[in-house]
Amino acid sequence: MVERLIVVALFDRVDLLDVTGPPEVFSLVQREMDESSGYRVVLAAPSLEPVTTSAGVRVLPDVTFASVADRRIDTLIVPGAVTIGPGREVRAEADPVVVDWVRRLAPSTRRVASVCVGAHVLADAGLLAGKRATTHWTTSAQLAKEHPDVVVDADPIFIRDGDVWTGAGLTACLDLSLALVADDFGQELALRVARQLVMYLKRPSGQSQFSVPLQHVSSSRRVDELRHYITTHLSDPLTVAHLAERLHLSDRQLTRIFTAELGATPAAYIESARVEAARNQLEAGDDTLERVARANGFGTVDTLHRAFRRRLNTTPAEYRNRFRTR
């Protein structure tokens, strides 16, 4: 099998997980295949001097950028680095030396992928011009302001635009890496690798960095139990009266508790949960809109449409065309 050379950029203050996460995924491919995967991962830096990451852990480069400049690179992975300002402002930093090397290596690379705020390095190198890209949500405004020629979408956990991939924050590097594996070897192998990692197979690229459970955090055990009930009974009517009865509360008491603990009315929370479930179903399969609407408690396609317009400013069909896993 032809060797697939994967080069991970390494530089001072880089986020450690951005560097170590993808190689871990690629190494597990070897374990799951009967023959060599063909992946060879190297860490490349401006020099062979040890690099101190943002976590304070020192990492030793395998090669210099110069030494791989004449190699045919399969995948160039570019992590990121940030600085924290006096007001706890997070800003992405792009080392000009690294930017220059990324620009020089890209033409001989089959595909380029950024992890987290590494998208700022790609943008500075001119690789995101006219493309849709994502990054960590804390620096998305900075990326859009500094590079108005980039279509910045801070919501998805990763985006593929041609031969350029961009990933969202930190642990999304695993999702991005699994997607690269699936692109090379298919979904079945990616599933086996995901199982080795003890993680969900693959959060679809369109999945928001802010899922409903992460947006709403409650302090009450009974509200958490009710949220779990909602998630597992989305196709049921889920009226306020029914939910209030489960907690032995009045409708008014339930609404007051939901609003105080979750910042949303029961109806708004249920709709958010249903829209998220419908998004995942649209991304993962070819079910008809009628089936998606019924499975997630919308009842009719018209109700599904209205919820998507309200929550996502798009239609279910447009969302599927944009994010469906091929």
pLDDT at 125: 98
Averaged pLDDT, 104-121: 97
pLDDT in tens, 170-218: 788 998 999 999 899 888 888 888 888 876 544 555 555 545 554 555 5
Per-residue pLDDT at 120: 98
- Domain map (residue ranges) of the chain: 4-197, 212-323
Residue, of 14 and 202, whose pLDDT is higher = 14
Grade residue 325 by pLDDT with cuts at 50, 70 and 90.
Answer: low
* Beta-strand relationship, 164-167 and 158-161: antiparallel
* pLDDT of 207: 53
Residue 58 clears pLDDT 60, i.e. is over it: yes
pLDDT class for 323, splitting at 50, 70, 90? low
Write down the architecture of domain 212-323 according to CATH.
Answer: Orthogonal Bundle (1.10)
Instruction: Give CA 150 to chain center in angstroms.
Output: 18
Cα–Cα distance between 243 and 87 in angstroms, integer? 42
| Contact criterion met (CB below 8 Å) for 109 and 16 | no
Q: Name residue, tokens 């105080």.
A: 260
**Nearest to residue 39, comparing CAs of 29, 49, 47, 54?**
29
Which residues does the annotation mark as catalytic?
116
pLDDT at 202: 47
Cα dihedral angle (103, 119, 179, 1), rounded to 10 degrees?
20
Distance CA 63, CA 190 (A): 28
CATH architecture under which domain 4-197 falls? 3-Layer(aba) Sandwich (3.40)
